[in-house]
Amino acid sequence: MAKPRRGEEDRVPSGRADEQTWRLRYKKHGFTAVCPKERSDKGKTRKVPPEQLLEAIEQVKPFFRGSDFNLAELYRRCIEKGLLRRDQIAPNTFRRLVNRLELLKPDKEATNKLRLAFAKRHANEAWQSDTLFGPRVAMPGGRFAQSKLIAFVDDASRICCHGQFFAEENSPAFKTALKAAFYKRGLPQMLYVDNGSIYSSAELSAICTRLGVRLCHTPVRDGAAKGKVERFFRTVRDQFLVRRLDLSSIERLNEQFTAWAEDEYNHRRHGTLGMKPVERYALDRDRIQYLPPSQYAEDAARKRGDGASPEGVSQTGCPLGGPANNSS
């Protein structure tokens, strides 16, 4: 019997010419090997993150009266306003996802875990953080290095809690940015990050535990889970990085970014919120827990000698439905 060509063993046979492949797979792996496998991403949105879908719907809701929405008309409005594209999501897919994720229900009535995971009701219930590769900046000694922007975005208000460019993407840089964010916007109940090494250090976990911040990691290869910070980075690319920036030093770049983030982005009306991020954040001012000036330095100075993960902290990931249990 001829041996199947490379790659034939893994695909699903479909005709008489593939009988040898069927036999080979059956002999090597048994009956289950000849059964077609389900897609690993079955039931998930592949082109449009749930957050983007929800934001699009929220922006077209004002065009409708009452709470009874025609899904076909909602879809048409989203397409006409450029919030969604037909090649991203078909009408039937739109209808199915809206119903399955309960995107038209108020937060208090929603029961879908994925829906609840990205529906925070109050400022500082959850922050999302990530790193964006920025422009090349002049460094001491005449060399140039690509800058990295570490940013924190509040889930409910969309406010940029803090953003800072660094020459290196490492744990000291992340802790420096985190410290500044804590002092500027208070302590979040949850910090949502990916599984990169700078977000998974034992020291970071220990700091968050001592300060009462729940550190959660996104599922592996699930960039859409941090949709709000990714959307913020898109705004950074489209509105900040396109400018003629002074790239003579990291310090000058950070001065320009801080001015843009605080004076323009945080003070510009957000389409989904219907108000400025600073105004939305201010609505929950009484709920914010601010950090005393000396507390971070004292907690950061303490180190865990055994290297073990602090109790109650997720090192391998946090279920999408888990963070919602922290909601007040």
Residue 37: per-residue pLDDT: 61
Q: Residue 110 domain-assigned?
A: no
Residue 35: per-residue pLDDT: 64
Whether residues 183 and 320 share a domain: the answer is yes
Residue 291: per-residue pLDDT: 79
Identify the segments of the chain with pLDDT beneath 50.
1, 7-10, 12-13, 40-41, 43-44, 113, 115-116, 301, 303-328
Residue 301: per-residue pLDDT: 46
**What backbone torsions phi and psi does residue 176 show, to the nearest 5 degrees?**
-65, -45
Q: Residue 256 domain-assigned?
A: yes
Q: Is residue 285 a contact partner of residue 183, using CB atoms and an 8 Å limit? A: no
Core vs surface per residue 107-122: b (16+ CB within 10 A) or e: eeebebebbbbbbbeb
Q: Residue 10 domain-assigned?
A: no
Whether residues 246 and 291 share a domain: the answer is yes
Q: What CATH number has the domain bearing residue 146? A: 3.30.420.10
Residue 129: per-residue pLDDT: 92
Computed over every residue of the chain, the mean pLDDT equals 77
- Number of separate domains in the chain: 2
Whether residues 163 and 34 share a domain: the answer is no
Whether residues 68 and 177 share a domain: the answer is no
**Could you give the CA distance from residue 68 to residue 244 in angstroms, rounded to a whole number?**
47
**Could you give the CA distance from residue 185 to residue 66 in angstroms, rounded to a whole number?**
36
**What backbone torsions phi and psi does residue 217 show, to the nearest 5 degrees?**
-115, 145
Which region, left, alpha or beta, applies to residue 39 given φ > 0 means left and ψ of -120 to 50 means alpha? Answer: beta
**Could you give the CA distance from residue 212 to residue 164 in angstroms, rounded to a whole number?**
24
Domain range spanning residue 60?
21-104
For the whole model, what pTM was predicted? 0.61
Q: Which of 55, 72, 104 is the last residue of a domain?
A: 104
